[in-house]
Chains A and B, each alone.
Chain A
Amino acid sequence: MSESQSEEFPIVVTGLKNAFGPHVVHENLDLKVRRGEIIGVVGGSGTGKSVLMRSIIGLQMPVEGNIDVLGRSITEAEPDEEIGVRSRWGVLFQGGALFSTMTVGENVEVPLRQFYPELSDDLREEIASFKVQLSGLPENAIDKYPSELSGGMKKRAGLARALALDPELLFLDEPTAGLDPIGAAAFDALTKELKETLGLTVFLITHDLDTLYEICDRVAVLADKQVIAVGTIPELLATDHPWIQEYFNGPRGRAAQSTQERTKGMDKSGQGDA
């Protein structure tokens, strides 16, 4: 894999096959993620969205195929082998997956401690503190234990930990699931802001149509054990795959679309005034 290709495509999946016993989840799956984009991954329940993410971050050994992350092959590396990419990505698991015996602040400090032991204690605490605030948590949340946090706060704390090392790649597994609409919208805005400020590439698994319309640059659709289409939403709507049509043109899809059009309209008029 050439350096230039890894610059342009930080994640390249080719010919991926995943199977659990006789049950085949992915077969001959290809996907390229562009640097600096937010790519949304959608698909029905059980189409293997999370399995795809787990494969990319090296938690699930595929049966066949190759996955390059930041120019390094994940599939050829041993599990837990240090191949220099773990400090360059951040992962937010569905439930937050915070270490339950540590406070939020200590959770955020874990990756810093792991990779950069030379940081002084003070600096590490300061970094943890501003990451927590960057993720939209109140300042006092830093000393709380995960069991004292609400679901939405756990997600934000998980995001703070994922951002601890200023990663180039951010993996989000259903970040807005289980959040109230206001919280979900705020989380979307935060993701977008972080992407723009920090120049992140975001791999985002979601069922949330509003998120797709609002922040995703491209959407990859998983169905029939493959990525059947990748593109912007208008591009996807132009295809005639029945699942895609049903997904985006179902009642929920339409609602999200009209919300999107309304807000876009407002943005335009706002710009006109200025």
Chain B
Amino acid sequence: MREWAEYTLFEDESDGAVTLALKGPLRVWSIGDLDKQLEQIEHTFSRLDLTDVTDIDTSGAWVAHRFAEENGAEIVGASDRARRLIRAVSKIKESQDEAGDEPGALGAMVGEIGKRVLAFLRGTVDVIGFLGALIVSLGSLIRHPGRFRGKALVRQMQLIGADSLAIIGLMSFLVGIVIANQGADNLADFGAEALTVNLTGRISLRELGILMTAIMVAGRSGSAFAAQIGTMKLTEEIDAMRTIGVSPMEALVVPRVVAAMLMMPLLGFYAAVVAIIGGAFISAFQIDIPFFTFLSRIREVVPNHDMWVGLIKAPVFGLIIAVAGCYNGMQVRGNAEEVGLRTTQAVVTAIFMVIVLDAFFAVFFSEVGWG
């Protein structure tokens, strides 16, 4: 179906000049093999005959021109079109390869590690700077409350909070079922399945409710912050805001951070309650503790400070998630791939920091006697 370009090499009978004749179409779709074959030719020749070339485009003209040039051959028999195209491509300089000395594998590895360390340090400084700018913005908003964006805040609260009730509820219900089910199974070995209530109630309010919520919010909202702000950065919307005198910090970052800090405690508490309901539900079937008995036992066995532990951690996690999302969004530069990288970065950082801080909180609260 495809006609390939070919070549023949012969000695001209009239004057004995060695001639290389190209045949067939010299088009971008026909020269792939020809180019490779020509590379192999070791014979020298002084003429490049294009008489039998049926069709030519710039790529074909380039191959002919470059090949003639390399061998110091003269092009003969070119049609008008071929001559015009060859003239057009002959103006073009061949690009020089400026391959510098490539570092070896070890060097590249050390270099990569160095780059990452530097990027990490620079990132740390930048995040501290970002937090500082956020605090300054909050301060100036407190002094000029009229500039506060109430509508944006409510909108973000809806996106972060209200819209995620269903998924967080479902997740927490299932987590509650798993804890109670596994707890009852294992505690039954000690004849202590009644302690399932303590286990479910305390772990939900203290740790899991808030932790699972943080992970869900980081995945849902943290990523959305990074992607939204990153895209706005690419389309120069952020620059446009600055020129109009709107601070992106006040308009975009503050509402998101405040909304996340307000919604996290509510969502975390909600998640804990739903998890307890999940636990009560499965216990009614598995270990014959009636549903409402389970719930009233919770009040007796879960100390109040367990709830406070959860509620104190929640806004901190909200802050981390929102700052990670907004900061990474603001760092987007250049291209669409960067938006993806930064979004991933936002979620990974947020979840990682949440878990690290959770460990600190756990130790801290046991030390202060809220164990």
Could you list which residues of chain A lie within 8 angstroms of chain B, going by C-beta atoms? 87, 100-101, 112, 115-116, 118-120, 123, 125-127, 129-131, 133-134, 139, 142, 145-147, 163, 165-166, 197-199
Does A127 lie within 8 Å of B29, measured CB to CB?
no
Residue B334 contacts which of A100, A126, A129, A197 (CB distance < 8 angstroms)? A100
Q: Does B42 contact A (CB under 8 A)?
A: no
Residue B28 contacts which of A139, A147, A166 (CB distance < 8 angstroms)? A166
- Please measure, in the bound complex, the distance between the C-alpha atom of A101 and the C-alpha atom of B94, giving whole angstroms: 25
User: Given the known A-B contacts A100-B335, A101-B335, A147-B334, are A130 and B36 also in contact in the complex, defined by CB atoms under 8 Å?
Assistant: no
List residues of chain B with CB within 8 A of the CB of A134.
58, 88-89, 92
User: Given the known A-B contacts A120-B32, A130-B92, are A197 and B85 also in contact in the complex, defined by CB atoms under 8 Å?
Assistant: yes
Does A87 lie within 8 Å of B29, measured CB to CB?
yes
List residues of chain A with CB within 8 A of the CB of B333.
147
- Please measure, in the bound complex, the distance between the C-alpha atom of A139 and the C-alpha atom of B95, giving whole angstroms: 7
Which size bracket describes the interface of B in this complex? 20 to 34
Instruction: Find the A residue at minimum CB distance from B340.
Output: A101
Q: Does B345 contact A (CB under 8 A)?
A: no
Does B336 lie within 8 Å of A101, measured CB to CB?
yes
What are 9 residue pairs bridging A and B, where the CB atoms are less than 8 Å apart in the complex? A100-B335, A100-B337, A115-B29, A116-B32, A119-B32, A126-B66, A134-B58, A134-B88, A197-B85
Does B94 lie within 8 Å of A147, measured CB to CB?
no
List residues of chain A with CB within 8 A of the CB of B31.
119, 123
Task: Kindly identify, within residues 44 to 67 of chain B, every residue whose CB is under 8 Å from any CB belonging to chain A.
Answer: 57-59, 62-63, 66
Q: Does B299 contact A (CB under 8 A)?
A: no
Q: Does B93 contact A (CB under 8 A)?
A: yes
Q: B293 → chain A, closest Cβ, in Å?
A: 58
Q: Does B207 contact A (CB under 8 A)?
A: no
Residue A146 contacts which of B85, B88, B335 (CB distance < 8 angstroms)? B335
List residues of chain B with CB within 8 A of the CB of A116.
28-29, 32
List residues of chain B with CB within 8 A of the CB of A133.
91-93
Q: What's the A-B contact tally at a CB cutoff of 8 Å?
A: 73
- Please measure, in the bound complex, the distance between the C-alpha atom of A125 and the C-alpha atom of B35, giving whole angstroms: 13
List residues of chain B with CB within 8 A of the CB of A119.
28, 31-32, 35
Does B36 lie within 8 Å of A120, measured CB to CB?
yes
Residue A166 contacts which of B33, B58, B91 (CB distance < 8 angstroms)? B58
List residues of chain B with CB within 8 A of the CB of A101.
335-337
Q: Does B202 contact A (CB under 8 A)?
A: no
Does B336 lie within 8 Å of A129, measured CB to CB?
no
Q: B22 → chain A, closest Cβ, in Å?
A: 15
Q: A154 → chain B, closest Cβ, in Å?
A: 12
Q: A101-B337, A119-B35, A166-B57 are in contact. List 9 more A-B contacts (CB 8 A).
A: A101-B336, A120-B35, A126-B62, A130-B58, A134-B92, A142-B95, A147-B333, A147-B334, A147-B335
Does A129 lie within 8 Å of B95, measured CB to CB?
yes
- Please measure, in the bound complex, the distance between the C-alpha atom of A147 and the C-alpha atom of B336, giving whole angstroms: 10
List residues of chain A with CB within 8 A of the CB of B66.
126
Instruction: Find the B residue at minimum CB distance from A131.
Output: B58
User: Given the known A-B contacts A134-B58, A145-B335, are A127 and B36 also in contact in the complex, defined by CB atoms under 8 Å?
Assistant: no
Could you list which residues of chain B lie within 8 angstroms of chain A, going by C-beta atoms? 27-29, 31-33, 35-36, 39, 57-59, 62-63, 66, 81, 84-85, 88-89, 91-95, 333-337
**Interchain residue pairs A-B with the least CB separation, the first 4:** A100-B335, A118-B32, A166-B57, A147-B334
Q: A112 → chain B, closest Cβ, in Å?
A: 7
Does B58 lie within 8 Å of A112, measured CB to CB?
no
Instruction: Find the A residue at minimum CB distance from B29.
Output: A116
User: Given the known A-B contacts A123-B35, A133-B92, are A197 and B57 also in contact in the complex, defined by CB atoms under 8 Å?
Assistant: no
Does A165 lie within 8 Å of B62, measured CB to CB?
no
List residues of chain A with CB within 8 A of the CB of B95.
125-126, 129, 139, 142
- Please measure, in the bound complex, the distance between the C-alpha atom of A244 and the C-alpha atom of B32, giving whole angstroms: 49
Does B334 lie within 8 Å of A127, measured CB to CB?
no
User: Given the known A-B contacts A100-B336, A120-B36, A123-B63, are A166 and B27 also in contact in the complex, defined by CB atoms under 8 Å?
Assistant: yes
Instruction: Find the A residue at minimum CB distance from B4.
Output: A118
List residues of chain B with CB within 8 A of the CB of A112.
28
Instruction: Find the A residue at minimum CB distance from B335.
Output: A100
- Please measure, in the bound complex, the distance between the C-alpha atom of A33 and the C-alpha atom of B119, giving whole angstroms: 55
Q: B285 → chain A, closest Cβ, in Å?
A: 52
Does A129 lie within 8 Å of B94, measured CB to CB?
yes
- Please measure, in the bound complex, the distance between the C-alpha atom of A127 and the C-alpha atom of B95, giving whole angstroms: 11
- Please measure, in the bound complex, the distance between the C-alpha atom of A260 and the C-alpha atom of B187, giving whole angstroms: 93
List residues of chain B with CB within 8 A of the CB of A198.
57-58, 85
User: Given the known A-B contacts A119-B32, A123-B35, A197-B88, are A166 and B335 also in contact in the complex, defined by CB atoms under 8 Å?
Assistant: no
User: Given the known A-B contacts A87-B29, A133-B92, A147-B333, are A197 and B59 also in contact in the complex, defined by CB atoms under 8 Å?
Assistant: no
Select the residue from B36, B93, B95, B334 with max chain A CB neighbours within 10 A: B95
- Please measure, in the bound complex, the distance between the C-alpha atom of A105 and the C-alpha atom of B215, giving whole angstroms: 42
Instruction: Find the B residue at minimum CB distance from A127.
Output: B59
Does B335 lie within 8 Å of A127, measured CB to CB?
no
List residues of chain A with CB within 8 A of the CB of B59.
127, 166
Does A130 lie within 8 Å of B35, measured CB to CB?
no
Does A197 lie within 8 Å of B29, measured CB to CB?
no
List residues of chain A with CB within 8 A of the CB of B32.
116, 118-120, 123
Q: B239 → chain A, closest Cβ, in Å?
A: 14
List residues of chain A with CB within 8 A of the CB of B94.
126, 129
Instruction: Find the B residue at minimum CB distance from A105.
Output: B95
- Please measure, in the bound complex, the distance between the C-alpha atom of A145 and the C-alpha atom of B336, giving whole angstroms: 12
Q: B83 → chain A, closest Cβ, in Å?
A: 11
Q: B78 → chain A, closest Cβ, in Å?
A: 14
Does B33 lie within 8 Å of A118, measured CB to CB?
yes
